[in-house]
Structure 1
Amino acid sequence: MQIEPGWIDYNGHLNMAYYNVLFDRAVDQLWLELGIGADYLSERGGSTFTAECHVRYLREIHLGDPVKIAVYIVAADDKRIHTFEELRHAEDGWLSATSENMSMHVDMGSRKVAPFPPDIRARIERVAEAHRASPRPEGIGRHIAMPSKRAATAR
């Protein structure tokens, strides 16, 4: 993926909003492979909504930096997919950002959370099983919190 000039902010690096654009495009590609892309809505009346997202910004990306994103299915059940994405510099390999997400399957007729159809659920489980064989990426399950005074004092 390439960074677009309009995505660079006044600090001279990729604006935080566009990390999410890149992550979303990568997830869209996985969704196509799972059979839950844009056509899934028109053909079967289902979609996914993001219920929660946690982005960590670890190293700046600048205009001209080539990037790639790996998407892992951490866990899945009948109605949810827990993903973790890593955005890396495509040539040098360093980690720029991560995004952890919980997506919910939605029946668009009722606009309510609903189970995935069995064939889609089976595809998701096959990919999740393959991803479980890979080392668990660092950063899954992190949360935002100020350091406690006790922890700061112990240092």
Structure 2
Amino acid sequence: MVDLPDSVTNGPAQSDWMTVRPEWIDFNGHLNMAYYNVLFDEGIDDVYRLMGFGADYARTRGMTTYVADFRVRYLRELHEGDRVRCSVQLLDHDEKRFHSFQELHHEDGWLAATAEALTLHVDMSGPRVAPMPEDIAARVAALQAAHDKLPRPEAVGLPMGIPAKGARKG
């Protein structure tokens, strides 16, 4: 039996608060798109530790995770000094992969961006995609069981593209 904190079993896991840095601001005066990825990446680190992943895992066990697909939706601009936190919901997993959904929320409560990821478990000796060790798989399964109780976010799996000309309005 894997014990997880209530903070990740009663809702999406929450990161610590993060602050938008001055060097991340672009010539348009708002957070450059690349740094949304940095916030999502730093925001998921706490959850990765709960799952058993991270720098220690790579160093001691020779295994890690690689993101295979990452899609960001930019919903509202962030500016220098804004404080945000990242929520993480595990949507699905198997022995070698997991699918997650993240949201960046401003400290005032509004949603700034969402991200959806497909992450691979990797044996660094190849490197090659490999099954998770039993103890890690149990931690991921425990988080999955907790998050299966949550509603699936509406933004999961949204298509991207330009509608066919006949389908466009106006």
For the criterion TM > 0.5, the same-fold answer is: yes
Q: How many Å separate the matches in 2 of 1:143 and 1:38?
A: 34
Q: How many Å separate the matches in 2 of 1:44 and 1:109?
A: 10
Residue 38, structure 1, aligned to residue 55, structure 2: yes
User: How big is the shift at 1:40?
Assistant: 0.4
Q: How many Å separate the matches in 1 of 2:114 and 2:125?
A: 33
Q: How many Å separate the matches in 1 of 2:83 and 2:59?
A: 33
Q: Deviations over 1:109-139 (max 9, x none)?
A: 1200000001101100111111111122221
Q: How many Å separate the matches in 1 of 2:154 and 2:84?
A: 19
- SS for the counterpart of 1:78 is coil
Listed as ranges, the matches of 1:41-120 within 5 Å are 41-90=58-107, 92-120=108-136
Residue 143, structure 1, aligned to residue 159, structure 2: yes
> Is this contact kept in 1: 2:44–2:86, CA < 8 A?
no
Q: How many Å separate the matches in 2 of 1:138 and 1:15?
A: 25
User: How big is the shift at 1:151?
Assistant: 2.3
TM-score by length of 1: 0.94
Q: Deviations over 1:61-84 (max 9, x none)?
A: 111211111011110100001111
Letter in 2 for 1:132: D
Q: How many Å separate the matches in 2 of 1:116 and 1:5?
A: 39
What is the match of residue 10 of structure 2?
none
Q: How many Å separate the matches in 2 of 1:132 and 1:150?
A: 39
User: How big is the shift at 1:43?
Assistant: 1.0
Percent of aligned positions with the same letter in both sequences?
A: 50
Q: How many Å separate the matches in 2 of 1:10 and 1:152?
A: 33
Q: How many Å separate the matches in 1 of 2:28 and 2:148?
A: 38
Structure 2: gaps spanning 5 or more residues: 1-17
Q: How many Å separate the matches in 2 of 1:50 and 1:79?
A: 12
The aligned length equals 153
Residue 3, structure 1, aligned to residue 20, structure 2: yes
Structure with greater contact order relative to length (CA < 8 Å, sep ≥ 6) = 2
What is the match of residue 152 of structure 1?
168
Structure 1: gaps spanning 5 or more residues: none
Shift >4 Å, 4+ stretches:
none
What is the match of residue 13 of structure 1?
30
